[in-house]
Structure 1
Amino acid sequence: MTIPYVCILFSLLLIYINKIPVSLAMAKEEGGSDNHYPRDQQARLTGIGKRALGAHQNSIEAFPVFYLTDLTRFRSVVWTIGLVLSVSLYLLPFYS
């Protein structure tokens, strides 16, 4: 395995490693882990649990695959094509 592949694998594992302290902090809260509304429980975390949640979310955002799927140029081209086609439908009766 080459170094770039090892780095990508490590960044993938880092997402799940950073989730461990979040799960522990959620389990320590009153009532244990809330499986029905976990995001509400995560929003109430304080201290190390809140910091671990931030680290977990940052590692997801920094993962290269998520960066590669952000196709802003493609989205802009599709939006522009849709706009041009919509305007052309309004102008079509004047030129036919």
Structure 2
Amino acid sequence: MTVAEWCVFGTLMLSLLTIASVKWIGFRRFDNSRPRDPDFYDDPIRSRALGAHQNGIEAFPFFAVAVLLAEFRLGHLRLIDELAVLFLIVRVAYVFTYIGNRPTLRSILWSIGFAINIAIFFLPAIRGYLTR
């Protein structure tokens, strides 16, 4: 497996760990028989963790497709790996800024992550212009 493919897995796990962590911390209030109970998410940190989790789920498909498409179309593999690692780092920072209630920085990080996805997606189209 490539580094980028491991980053796809890491991005998926990040999205799951984002919400699992607040469920573990609030285990006495969390009722697994009602995992979507809105009362559990009344707490501001839990609410922001849920938002970060949902955004992670939303961002994951495009990232996964971009990585796989770039690899299948023989994009510059080292650059795909580097951009995928950068995307994962940006997503980790995004989660922390979301939970830490830093909306401006969070939006900037989201935009950077989206730009990285666009770059990965279009790497096969510009591969002739890149040196290997």
1:43 is displaced (CA, Å) by: 6.2
- Superposed CA RMSD in Å reads 2.8
CA distance in 1, matches of 2:47, 2:32: 18
> Unaligned regions of 5+ residues in structure 1, if any?
69-96
Q: What's the TM-score, normalizing by structure 2?
A: 0.39
Asked if 2 retains the 8 angstrom alpha-carbon contact of 1:22 and 1:49, the reply is yes
Among candidates 40, 45, 54, match of residue 48 of structure 1: 45
Q: Which gives a bigger RCO, structure 1 or 2 (Cα 8 Å, sep 6+)?
A: 2
Residue aligning to 1:57: 54
Number of aligned residue pairs: 65
Closer, same or farther in 2 for the Cα pair 1:16/1:9, shift >3 Å?
same
| 1:58-96 deviation line (CA, Å, top 9, x unaligned) | 11111127985xxxxxxxxxxxxxxxxxxxxxxxxxxxx
* Percent of pairs with identical residues: 40
CA distance in 2, matches of 1:27, 1:16: 16
1:46 is displaced (CA, Å) by: 1.9
> Unaligned regions of 5+ residues in structure 2, if any?
66-132
Residue aligning to 1:27: 27
Closer, same or farther in 2 for the Cα pair 1:5/1:17, shift >3 Å?
same
**Greater displacement, 17-26 / 51-60:** 17-26
Q: What's the TM-score, normalizing by structure 1?
A: 0.50
Asked if 2 retains the 8 angstrom alpha-carbon contact of 1:18 and 1:56, the reply is yes
Q: Which runs of 4+ in 1 moved over 4 A?
A: 65-68
Closer, same or farther in 2 for the Cα pair 1:17/1:37, shift >3 Å?
closer
